[in-house]
Amino acid sequence: MVDSGKIPHAIMFHEDDGGGAFPIVQAFLQYLFCKNRSGGDSCGACPGCNKIGKLIHPDVYYIYPVNTGSSTDFVVQWRELVQSNPSFTENELSDALGIEGKTAMIKVEEAKKVLDVLSLYALERGYRALVVYLPEKMNREAANRLLKAVEEPPEKTLFLMITHAPDMVLPTIASRCLRLRVMPRRGVFRSVGQAEDPELLRRLMQAVLARDLGAALEAADAAAALPSRERAKGFCRYAAERLRFVFLLQQGLDKMVEVPETELAELRDWAARCPKTFPRKAAEALGRAQGYIERNVNVKILFTDLADRLYMSI
């Protein structure tokens, strides 16, 4: 795109949580701002490359969900996280910003501030870029404010978005973006869950497969007792990912399931014991639960309902 001079003004990268889209965005920006490109790569040494690598380029702006204030209030923590772990997860970002257990979003005040800056000339007289991490977490006012800029972007202004849930992004924004799917890297075992999530899912699945509703409800209570809503959503994402693997195993697509061998044996057992309709129905139930967690519905009621839906789907 850069070499041809035909760069879309808005690109949406769809990744799984921690799936590596941010390093791709950084590499794209580094190539764009590099003064000494050669062989299809940036030089890595010029001022443009150094500024992008250190996240200090004056014409590149990053916004991401926070609990209070704006992204600029957490810029030190943001840079430390990105430079130490560029393929970070949502939970790792919350931990780095010190907002674990709190609701995070991108508010309209932040959108106004950054769009005011983008309306000015680029300090280095070239491109300007806005990187939005998790546009699905913009509130309605912020999304509508950003939409106006995406519809009629200033000259040489790029909008680069990284999403984990493209269906939750404002449709009028998503429709104006070139969408690129970032697939998980082969040979890299990645999990969106935290330490206790595998055991919670194991308890829930064993109860459901054994047709033991009481045990399933007990597992649901344990999930509801997770320390924050973000962790509860993280469990739903983790469970949905594992059930997608179950679906792939049922279709004979074992090579697409990249997990350690010890975990693969358990997933194969689940795939053999549950109906082929189960993973799809379970994914719908988990997506529904995650959506309601976003809306602050009572978590205990949600997970009780989830256990019941899984039990009825087996």
Instruction: Say if CB 180 and CB 13 are below 8 A apart.
Output: yes
> How many domains does the chain contain in total?
2
Using DSSP's 3-state secondary structure scheme, residue 160 falls into strand
Instruction: Say if CB 206 and CB 259 are below 8 A apart.
Output: no
- Tracing tokens 């999304």 back to the chain, one arrives at 143
Give pLDDT, residue 187: 46
CATH of the domain at 58: 3.40.50.300
Does residue 2 sit within a domain?
A: no
Residue type, 177: C
Q: State how far the Cα of 311 lies from the Cα of 307, in Å rounded to an integer.
A: 6
- Tracing tokens 């697409």 back to the chain, one arrives at 256
- pLDDT for 107-136, tens place per residue? 999 988 888 888 877 888 889 999 999 999
Give pLDDT, residue 200: 92
Clarify whether residues 37 and 123 are in a common domain.
yes
Q: Where are the strands (E) in 55-212, listed by range?
A: 60-63, 128-133, 157-163, 178-182
Of 177, 182, 121, residue with least CA distance to 154: 121
Q: Is the pTM of this model over 0.85?
A: no
Clarify whether residues 176 and 272 are in a common domain.
no
Residue numbers of the chain with a pLDDT score lower than 70: 101, 184-196
Clarify whether residues 224 and 279 are in a common domain.
yes
Range of the domain at 112: 10-182
Between the CA of residue 207 and those of 233, 276, 295, 314, what are the distances in Å?
21, 18, 28, 11
Clarify whether residues 117 and 41 are in a common domain.
yes
Give pLDDT, residue 172: 92
Cα 190 from chain centroid? 13
Between the CA of residue 263 and those of 43, 205, 269, what are the distances in Å?
41, 14, 10
Q: What does the DSSP 8-state code read for residue 169?
A: S
Picking from 182, 217, 248, the residue at the C-terminal end of a domain is: 182
Does residue 190 sit within a domain?
A: no
Does residue 121 sit within a domain?
A: yes
Residue type, 300: K
Give pLDDT, residue 186: 52
Clarify whether residues 27 and 131 are in a common domain.
yes
Clarify whether residues 146 and 15 are in a common domain.
yes
Picking from 130, 157, 182, the residue at the C-terminal end of a domain is: 182
